[in-house]
Amino acid sequence: MARNISTVDLFCGAGGLTHGFEQAGLPVKAGYDIDPACQFPYEHNNQAKFVLQDVENLRGFDLGEHFYNSRIKVLAGCAPCQPFSSYSRRYKDQHSKWKLLQDFARIVEECQPDIISMENVLQLKHYSIFKEFIAQLQKLNYSFEYYEVNCLDYGIPQSRKRLVLLASKFGSINLIPRTHCPELYKTVRQTIKHLEPISAGQASKRDWLHRCSKLSELNLRRIRASQPGGTWRDWPKELIAECHLKKSGKTYPGVYGRMEWDKPSPTITTQCFGFGNGRFGHPEQDRAISLREAALLQSFPPEYKFVDPNKPVAIHIVGRLIGNAVPVKLGEVIAQSILNHIEQFS
C-alpha cells in the first residue's frame, strides 16, 4: 500500500513529523521549510528530500514532482504556532504570521491532495482563520475531523496538548484511539534517567547533544534552592528576582522550576535549554535539561542527529529545532490514522 502513497511535509522543521510518518510506514517524499538549520537533521535522519523554500512563495503546481505517479497524495503541515500561543497573543504584530495558515489553505486548493493533516496549538480553534480553513475544506468537499490531543495519551512523556486535524477526499477519517491511560503515562524518569550526569555548561564526550547551558552563580544558587515540582516562591527572599516580587510578577510560578522524576515533563519549548525559561531544571542535577534530554522528551529516538559534526551549532539553534518539532510519536499516531483510513477506503 505504501508504494502508492506520496507525502509532502510543509513547515517540516527538523523532521519530527516526517520521522514519525516514516516510522509508521507512511512514505514522505519531501519537506519544505525556510530555516536552513533544518536541512541536516531532516535529510540525515529521514529518507525525504529537504527543500529550502518559503511556503508563502510555494504553489501547488510545484508539488507535482513529489506526487507524480502516486495514487494517493498526502499533504501535512504545521504552520508556526507562535501567533496563536498564549504568550504571543499579546503582540498584534505577530498576527501577520497568520498568513502562513492561509498559504497552507491556498496550497491545498491548488494541488487538491487526497488526505490532509494539520497540527497546531489548541488556541488556533478560537480564531476566525481556523474557521476559514474549515470552510475551505468544506468547499473542496473534504470530510474532516479535528481533535484536542493530549500527547500523554499516546506515550509522549510531556504535558503537551495539540490540535490535530485530519481531512480526506475518500470519506470520514479519524484519529486512532489513545494508547496510554493515566496510570501508564510516560515519566521523566523513564525517559532521561539513564543518561550520564553532567554539570552546568558541560557536555558528554559520548554524545554531543547531551550538553547543557552554563548557569550564572546566582542561578546556581537558585537551582540548588529548588525542589522538584516547586517554584521560586520556595526560595529565600534574596534569591527571588525583583520582577517576581512585584504584584504583576506573582502570576509566573512556572519559571525557574525543576522537573519531577515520576511525572511527565512540562511542554518542551524553543527555550527548553534555559533554567529560567520554564520548569526546565533537571530533577536532581544542578542544571537545566540538556539538548538530548529535551529531544528524548519530544520522543525523538536517541540516535537522532541534529548537527553536522563538521559544523559548530549554537545551543539556542538546536534548542529551537527541538522545541519547534512535532513530537515523533505524535507523527506516528497521525500516520497510523492515515494508513488505517486508506486501508478502509482502498
Active site residue 181: no
Q: Which three cell numbers stand for residue 255?
A: 519559571
Give the DSSP H/E element, type plus range, for residue 114: none
Give the DSSP H/E element, type plus range, for residue 173: none
Nearest to 12 by CA among 110, 98, 104: 104
The DSSP annotation for 39-68 comes to HHHHHHHSSSEEEE--GGG--GGGGHHHHT
The DSSP annotation for 200-269 comes to TT-B-SS-TTSB-----HHHHHHHHT--BT--GGGS-GGGS-HHHHSGGGGG-TTSS-B--TTS-B----
Nearest to 222 by CA among 207, 212, 233: 233
Nearest to 108 by CA among 146, 76, 143, 65: 76
Query: What are the residues whose beta carbons fall under 8 Å from the beta carbon of 232, sequence distance 6 or more?
Result: 222, 226, 239, 240, 241, 244, 253, 255, 256, 257
CB of 335 closer than 8 Å to CB of 20: yes
Locate cell 494517493: which residue? 72
CB of 240 closer than 8 Å to CB of 225: no
From 12, 81, 151, 272, active-site residue = 81
Pairing mode of beta strands 115-121, 161-168? antiparallel
Report the catalytic residues.
81
